[in-house]
Amino acid sequence: MNKKLFGMYLTHLSPFLNSVFQAGIHGDVIEFGVYQGETLLSMAKACLIWNTCCHGVDSFQGLAEPGPQDWPGLDKGHYDVGGPDILRTMIEALGLNNTYLHVGFVPAILHELTGYQFCFAHVDLDHYQPTLDTLFFLLPRISSGGIIMVHDYIPNREGGAAEACREFCQAEQINIEYYEPTNHAILRIF
């Protein structure tokens, strides 16, 4: 079955998400770090086509307090969108009844997701510790053959999401594929 993905913000994810769907990998799709929802909405539309659920995880209050391993300029409240109501309205207006928002900061929000299995995850949390916590949380919940994409991955860049991704992959012996057009790490889980 050749189902095309659509959505301007999904172009960087579509080859990877489509490959998981076409391979029949079991599980839902999830994004950590939703911001205004462009990527989430595009993924949710694709999930409707493939009859699976889409989850979005965000505080909708911006970033938490940065830690010592985070990049400058990503301060507390950066990316604050004033709450999830606008995105919820958009989800409803688009008829995306397969889409669920989980509102809160990582790691506190992760308990809501313990019963789910995922085939694809997009992680865009910027900060080191939430990214690291999310990757370790996801690993046993990603189906074999599934993919985790980590945004803001730049090889040899210290701190932030890039360092968390490298540390996680080293600990779990997972190879990192670098997708340079959008600075994503591609982690294929087997």
CATH code for the domain in which residue 115 is found: 3.40.50.150
For residues 20 and 189, the answer to whether their CB atoms sit within 8 Å is no
The tokens of 122 are what? 């997009």
pLDDT in tens, 147-161: 999 999 999 999 999
Total tally of structural domains belonging to the chain: 1
Mean pLDDT value of segment 6-29: 84
| Per-position b or e across 34-57, b if 16+ CB within 10 A of its CB | bbebebbbbbbbbbbebebbbbbb
3-class secondary structure, 144: strand
Is residue 2, in this structure, part of any structural domain at all? no
Question: Is 3 among the domain residues?
Answer: no
Within a domain: 64: yes
User: What pTM value is reported for the model?
Assistant: 0.94
Domain that holds residue 174: 8-188
Q: Does 40 fall in a domain?
A: yes
User: At what angle are helices 85-93 and 38-49 packed, to 10 degrees?
Assistant: 30
Q: What is the per-residue pLDDT for 2?
A: 32
Q: Is the residue at 73 inside a domain?
A: yes
Residue 171, domain member (yes or no): yes
Q: Which of 6-20, 31-45, 56-70 has the lowest mean pLDDT?
A: 6-20
Helical ranges in 54-115 per DSSP H: 85-93
Q: Which alpha helices (DSSP H) does 23-96 contain, by range?
A: 38-49, 85-93
**Structural domain contains residue 1:** no
Output the pLDDT for position 12: 81
Q: Is the pLDDT of residue 28 over 90?
A: yes
Q: Does the residue 82 lie in any domain?
A: yes
> CA 26 → CA 3, 23, 49, distances in Å?
17, 9, 15
